[in-house]
Amino acid sequence: MDANSTSQNPSQVSVPKGQKRTLKASWKLSRLFFIALVIFGTIVAHFLPMLPYQLPLCLFRLMTGYPCAGCGMTRSFEAAARGHFKEAFEWHPIGLALFIAMWLGAILAAYELLTNKPFDWEGWLKRWGAWIAWSLFFALIVLWILRLSYYRFGQWLPLPLKFPL
């Protein structure tokens, strides 16, 4: 190998000035886009129940007659957007957890923008991403099995959690 083809540490590679600005601007734009998406999603979720009609959102339920693993998630977001966190938990506990995580992410993104220091998301996701994803997956499956065990003959048996009928 010659001196020009030696591998360098990515943090030590010299990047043209224009590209540094592009990289710096791109993380800021992605954070602004995420914050805007969280705010817009919350506003939509807040006003969704005020529509004169409610759309059937679950194709699985329409086809099988049984609730899917995510049934109640939209109503959970709607309730959380209106500040009714107990009702959001009753509709779908994971929906409330995702709503809170979404807003915590928006707060962290705003902090990154204010301090002008990007968080090491790549390192954090390498360390915790798979664990969180698998935990959510198993929690969703366990909750779905619990819900199905209380669903008999097209009716819900008493359970302390609300279910869309």
The pLDDT tens digits of the residues spanning 70-95 come to 888 888 999 999 999 988 988 888 99
- The answer to whether residues 146 and 139 touch, using CB atoms and an 8 Å cutoff, is no
Answer whether residue 145 is part of any domain. yes
Domain carrying residue 43:
23-152
Q: 102-132 pLDDT, tens per residue?
A: 999 999 999 999 999 988 888 988 999 999 9
Q: How many domains does the chain have?
A: 1
Alpha carbons 149 and 129: distance in angstroms, whole number:
30
Alpha carbons 111 and 58: distance in angstroms, whole number:
36
Answer whether residue 13 is part of any domain. no
Token pair for 48: 């969704």
For residue 156, report the phi and psi dihedrals to the nearest 5 degrees. Answer: -90, 135
Answer whether residue 73 is part of any domain. yes
Answer whether residue 116 is part of any domain. yes
Nearest to 75 by CA among 59, 90, 60, 65: 90
Answer whether residue 8 is part of any domain. no
Answer whether residue 56 is part of any domain. yes
One-letter amino acid identity for 19? Q
Banded pLDDT at 9 (limits 50, 70, 90): very low
Q: 30-69 pLDDT, tens per residue?
A: 999 999 999 999 999 898 888 777 666 678 888 887 788 8
Answer whether residue 158 is part of any domain. no
Answer whether residue 117 is part of any domain. yes
